[in-house]
Amino acid sequence: MTTSRPALLLMDFQPAIVARGGSPEIFAAARTALDAARSHGIPVFFVRVAFRPGFPEVPQSNVAFTALAAAAGDALTEQSPATQIIAELAPLPSEPIVTKRRYSAFTGSDLDVLLRGQGITHLVLAGISTSGVVLSTFRQAFDLDYGLTVLSDASGDGDSELSELLLTRVFPRQGTVVTAAEWVAGLE
């Protein structure tokens, strides 16, 4: 018999990103999930996007990240306050902060190694933005054979229609979509 071992991934809850799709309601839902995960012994991983000074990880062929690097200056470098996890969701010293280099939490990071090292088989995703980090991580995690749950109210996007489409039509085909409160209730 196979048992599912979940982990909560809180993704891109950093000042540089939340300004474009975050809200107090999303932070509150993410906090609800965070508190529940901690109280139930579910591992929590924080994911952020950040780069080395000068953005050597971004080739000119990557249109999205080249534009982002040009507009961000030093704001998206690893040491910048804009790339740190927001205070509302402050990680504990024992909770890993994974630095990624693309939209997916897996790309350019050691996330898969950390998850497999802890025997994680199911990911509970929350993040900013639904059409960015949540979608990219969801797709890659599915291809890596992780079970998936998306916390609909702990994920946000600057494009609410696109977010709604993903949450109601795309993600349910390969995982579960619930609110943070519904997920917490399922832990009891």
Kindly state the average pLDDT of the residues 109-123.
97
Predicted confidence (pLDDT) at residue 135 exceeds the cutoff of 70:
yes
pLDDT band at 2 (very low <50, low <70, confident <90, very high): low
Query: What's the average model confidence in pLDDT over 120-136?
Result: 96
Can you spell out the DSSP letters for 63-122? HHHHHHHHHHGGGGBTTSGGGSPPGGGPPPTTS-EEEESSSSSSTTSSHHHHHHHTT--E
Which H/E stretch holds residue 128? Answer: strand 122-128
Taking the model in full, what pTM does it have?
0.93
pLDDT at 1 over 70: no
pLDDT in tens, 33-54: 999 999 999 999 999 998 888 8
Domain 6-187 has CATH 2.60.40.1840: no
Question: What tokens appear for 134 in the block?
Answer: 């949540």
Q: 173 pLDDT exceeds 80?
A: yes
Let me know: does 48 contact 75? Beta carbons within 8 Å.
no
Task: Check whether 64 has a pLDDT greater than 60.
Answer: yes
- pLDDT-based confidence at residue 138 (cuts at 50, 70, 90): very high
Place of tokens 């350019």: 108
Q: Return the pLDDT at 4.
A: 85
pLDDT at 11 over 60: yes
Query: What is the spatial distance between Cα 63 and Cα 13, in angstroms, rounded to a whole number?
Result: 23
Helices H, strands E: what count in the chain?
7, 6
Distance CA 5, CA 123 (A): 9
The answer to whether the beta carbons of residues 46 and 89 sit under 8 Å apart is: yes
Could you give the CA distance from residue 177 to residue 170 in angstroms, rounded to a whole number? Answer: 10
Residue 56: what pLDDT? 74
Q: What is each CA distance from 171 to 10, 146, 148, 164, in whole angstroms?
A: 17, 14, 9, 10
Parse the chain into domains and list their residue ranges: 6-187
Contacts of residue 74, Cβ cutoff 8 Å, sequence gap at least 6: 53, 80
Which pLDDT value is given to residue 188?
83
Q: Write down the mean pLDDT value for the chain.
A: 92
CA distance 36 to 10: 13
